[in-house]
Structure 1
């Protein structure tokens, strides 16, 4: 039998998660502007949940990096400079490189290698349809799955937590900038390079080549760098970047 206290705790957690998702959507859709103060009472009224779940949701979004605490109390929506966005992607690539190196050096099971290979086979199938018919949503799903498998291979909860945090920033996750490259005339070439890097890192892990595996994943993140550089010079592309409204763009000549 579930105790009443446990039921109350479960309800509170469900409300917290719901508040967290709803609040994140408000930020990412631009309904809360960069620098805008976000108070607990304001969100209680807006989200229609009690104070405790809202308070916890605000703290979690601060941990994700979307909000920041302000001295007068409450939180404000964080603004990111272009430099910070590039650094976030670089940090993610560095951590994924470390995950690949640890996986290679420590060794991984045949089951993990098979799961990763099956995922890459599925991506290959998506890409064989050609750029005019490619299912980008399916590609994004499988790409995220492969990166998740890769992180799991390192068997490091500490590393996984740090990667989860940096990937929570909407523009820094492994597939965040795929919609931008979908507008590029070099889409097929870019996806082919990314997929080749996937195959190469898996091979390096299987061969226990830690240094090579790490270098490949760090280079892999450079694709996102190039996509961001492209977006920053084209507003139509920038509109496709998740959380683009949070980025303070520098004035270009």
Structure 2
């Protein structure tokens, strides 16, 4: 998928997260493409991706509907991912990394360092980080030599914001977003160090915390729920 396609997915994901696309709202390709100023092709791909992530539901007629997603939905899915990826990091540390895995992980870390060295981040940078992040996690899963982890993660990825690829980016708070993703990148450095030194317990702990850090960004859902409840009381 091209960079522009990943940006569209991230933008729509953030619109769902922020409530700009409300639960139950029907969305279609043409008006959404016009709204974002892109062609229909990346919109079509984005809709399918977000359907797989559990954020959209395909309607019997044309178009999709935004699913109702709660903080508890996200929390449960991310906690499961943290356990699974923590186990992968532990077993990768116990097994040891191959020379090729070490080399590629170092290259990914270096690419991330270059991405964050400017002190700012935009949606195009996020598309690059998406690829770095996805590959970094995949190598650790592969290094665990445990196919059951990959299988379990594959099933869990169909839940809202559970996938490592499910990155959202708030264009209205660029400073906070830079800090958030830079912190995640620093955790990549820490988990690589732990795995390389065979520190299995430390590697597992860091990887679980790495997944659970996503919950901080999901707190907006609890705010939305509180607001909705207050509005219902006032009506």
| Deviation (angstroms), 1:169 | 2.7
Please list the CA deviations of residues 223-252 of structure 1 after superposition, one character each: whole Å capped at 9, or x if unmatched: 210001135536xxxxxxxxxxxxxx4645
Residue of 220, 223, 235 corresponding to 1:233: 223
Inter-CA distance 152–181: structure 2 relative to 1 (3 Å threshold): farther
Q: Is the 8 A contact 2:74 2:160 kept in 1?
A: no
Query: CA separation in 2, counterparts of 1:182 and 1:198?
Result: 26
Inter-CA distance 203–132: structure 2 relative to 1 (3 Å threshold): closer
| Deviation (angstroms), 1:156 | 0.9
Query: CA separation in 2, counterparts of 1:204 and 1:168?
Result: 29
| Gap regions ≥5 residues in structure 1 | 1-27, 35-60, 68-76, 235-248
Query: CA separation in 1, counterparts of 2:102 and 2:192?
Result: 8
Query: CA separation in 2, counterparts of 1:179 and 1:66?
Result: 16
Task: Give the total of aligned pairs.
Answer: 178
TM-score w.r.t. the length of structure 2 is 0.64
Q: Please list, as runs of the form range in 1=range in 2, the aligned pairs for 1:1-253 lying within 5 A after superposition.
A: 80-131=69-120, 135-180=125-170, 183=173, 185-230=175-220, 232-233=222-223, 249=225, 251-253=228-230
Secondary structure of residue in 1 paired with 2:118: coil
Q: Which runs of 4+ in 1 moved over 6 A?
A: 64-67
Please list the CA deviations of residues 172-191 of structure 1 after superposition, one character each: whole Å capped at 9, or x if unmatched: 11242441487353223222
Which structure has the greater CA radius of gyration?
1
Q: Is the 8 A contact 2:120 2:175 kept in 1?
A: no
Q: Which has the higher contact order (CA 8 A, sep 6+)?
A: 2
Hey, what does 1:43 align to over in structure 2?
Answer: none
